[in-house]
Chains A and B, each alone.
Chain A
Amino acid sequence: MRFLTISGPPSSGKTSVILRVIEALQAHEKKIGVVKFDCLLTDDDILYAKKGVLVKKGLSGALCPDHYFVSNIEACVTWGHENGCEYLISESAGLCNRCSPHIKEITAVCVIDNLSGIGTPKKIGPMLKSADIVIITKGDIVSQAEREVFASRVKQVNPGAIIMNVNGITGQGAFELTSLFENASDIETLKGKELRFSMPAALCSYCLGETRIGEEHQTGNIRKMEM
């Protein structure tokens, strides 16, 4: 089973790109599974189900979304494998820019959009900087010059990645992207695998439900700004 982690800031076009890839893979009659991670609510699982792919939805709720991701992804891979998927795609949004779902030896994809501003590539951490493939979306509505500048900023923070423009609406570039997915990591289990980068730590009174503000209520892993 070919397994890929797809991540990217909220509303960058991850779901649209994955839907276009699914169409291209289905043309080759491949069996596909998608695991959609989100925080509070998502209807994307319905969009995926409409395409006739196997879907699993995970909502992290009151937990840190990426910690939730990493504690569930192994079981998701086993689920995909047991259900005979030839491709399994995990989709998750990187919400704090410092976390990343990417796993060593597993093809890592980051989706980022031209409209997010040229300062955005450097603001995103390992999710973008350690990805193998970076997909830039929404290129159809900005000028050629802006596309070139944006791509050069992405290239600056991840010069080793394959950078591609894909249009999630028209599907331009999706066929080409799919041809890269055909070479994605082929695995049966995530046993023994490691994250590419540690996740941001948090273990303080607020993690445990504290709501009161003030020194006396703060315990655990606390850091103070310099004033």
Chain B
Amino acid sequence: MKDTALFHQPLIEALVDHPYIEDFLTSFGLIVKPGSESLQHYLDHLDPDNLEDLGIDAEQLRQSLNDFLDGMLAISDPMDKVKTLTIIGGHDKSGTAENLELTLKPGEIICIVGPTGSGKSRLLADIEWVAQGDTPTGRKISINGQVPDSKWRFSTEHKLVAQLSQNMNFVMDLSAEEFIRMHAESRLVTNPEEKVAQILKQANELAGEQFAPDTPVTSLSGGQSRALMIADMAILSKSPIALIDEIENAGIDRKKALDLLVQEEKIILMATHDPILALMGDRRLVIKNGGIAKIIESSDAERKNLIILEELDNKLLALRNRIRTGDTLENI
């Protein structure tokens, strides 16, 4: 056990530094009346009939509390910084070797392209699972040039990948502000209010249409939801890799969204077939038959074309706004 003193100090004092102990106990249905008695005393004097009703085994409760405290200490530990992530090639579905070693760094945007079923998800899953030749592709993932700690696989506090896709929605019955606050509290950040304000501000900058902090998350438009998800992912999520499955065109400034993630030092992996997003990336991995068939670096010529594409896009966007405001499109 890490901190035996904690079990012997009066519960009322222990809860000052470790308020989450009370949350832990109440989440088992136990009633906590903090006083001068110690945590140890509290645990030793729980009513066995009440435990039976709640479905708790006293010994197991003690074990869970120890595990929980270890987990809480781990959250406050500074997370190992991911400076590089290397994909060491395996093979495609026919067994053809990929023959590559690809190193990704924070702030890079890597696009993943290929038809449905080509193996994009498997590549992303290999990264999330920090594959060690033990997945169907035989790929290996190393972090900072080394075989990674197995904690990346199972830890809920130190998840390697945060994910955003088109299908994701908010389902909680909370306002935007309450929602972000709850997320911040669950991550035990020291300054939750500051983070809440920062995220709401960023989300409003990314969203085409502004929203108030007390808007229920379930009433946000598609663009506003996406904007809030990205701002939250950039600022609150500790995961060093942001995985994005398309960002829809409507209602969000995609350039700013990517800039925000880059600024927060995420490694950005983006599955997209949108030409503008693809050209915003540093390179594109072309997936075919379960393997990485080709790596394309975005060229200067492509980047020049990006400007033309953005002009086209802005033109469409302007037309969209005219439709929204009830205008006609006889002259475009």
On A, residues with C-beta under 8 Å from B are: 27, 98, 100, 114-115, 118, 121-122, 125-126, 129-130, 139-149, 151-160, 162-164, 170, 172-173, 175-176, 179, 196-198
Write out the residue numbers on chain B whose beta carbons fall within 8 Å of the beta carbon of A170.
Answer: 121
Out of A98, A139, A155, name the residue touching B55 (CB < 8 Å): A98
B183 and A122 within 8 A (CB): no
> Is B67 interfacial (CB 8 A cutoff)?
yes
Which residues of chain B (56-87) have a CB below 8 Å from chain A?
Answer: 56-57, 60, 63-64, 67-68, 70-71
Q: How many residues of B contact A (CB 8 A)?
A: 51
When distances are taken between beta carbons in the complex, the residues of chain A under 8 Å from B57 are 126, 130, 196-197
Q: Pick the contact of B170 from A118, A140, A142, A163 — CB < 8 Å?
A: A142
A residues within 8 A CB of B68?
Answer: 155-156, 159
- How many whole Å from B179's CB to the nearest CB in chain A? 7
* Residues of chain A lying within 8 A (CB to CB) of residue B225: 143
B167 contact set on A, CB distance < 8 A: 140-141
Q: How far is the CA of A158 from the CA of B171 in the complex (A)?
A: 23
In this assembly, does B314 line the interface, its C-beta being within 8 Å of a C-beta of chain A?
A: no
A143 close to B229 (CB less than 8 A):
yes
Which segment, of B38-46, B106-114, B231-239, faces chain A?
Answer: B231-239
Interfacial residues of chain B within 99-129, with CB under 8 A of chain A in the complex: 121, 125, 129
Residues facing A in B185-201 (CB within 8 A) are 186-187
A-B contact pairs, 12 of them (CB 8 A): A126-B57, A129-B64, A143-B170, A144-B168, A148-B156, A155-B71, A156-B24, A157-B27, A158-B64, A160-B64, A175-B125, A196-B57
Closest B residue to A155 by CB, please name it. Answer: B156
- B307 beta carbon closer than 8 Å to chain A: no
Supposing A148-B187, A151-B156 touch, asked if A143 and B169 sit within 8 A by C-beta, the answer is yes
A27: chain B residues within 8 A (beta carbon)? 136
- How many inter-chain residue pairs (CB < 8 Å) link A and B? 120
Query: Nearest residue in A to B134 (C-beta to C-beta)?
Result: A179
B168 A176 Cβ-Cβ under 8 A: no
Tell whether, in the assembled complex, residue A172 and residue B121 are in contact, meaning their CB atoms are under 8 Å apart: yes
Residues of B within 8 A of A (CB): 23-24, 26-29, 52-57, 60, 63-64, 67-68, 70-71, 121, 125, 129, 134-136, 153-154, 156, 159, 162-165, 167-172, 179-180, 182-183, 186-187, 225, 229, 232-233, 236-237
Q: Look across to chain A and name the residue whose beta carbon is closest to the beta carbon of B69.
A: A159
**Bound-state Cα–Cα, A100 to B55, Å:** 9
* B55 engages A145 (CB within 8 Å): no
Q: Say whether A115 contacts B164, CB under 8 Å.
A: no
Residue of B159, B172, B187 touching A146 (CB-CB under 8 A): B172
A21 CA to B51 CA, complexed, in Å = 35
Shortest C-beta distance, B67 to chain A (Å), equals 4
Please name the residue on chain A nearest to B242 by beta carbon: A144
Cβ-defined partner of B67 (8 Å) among A118, A141, A145, A159: A159
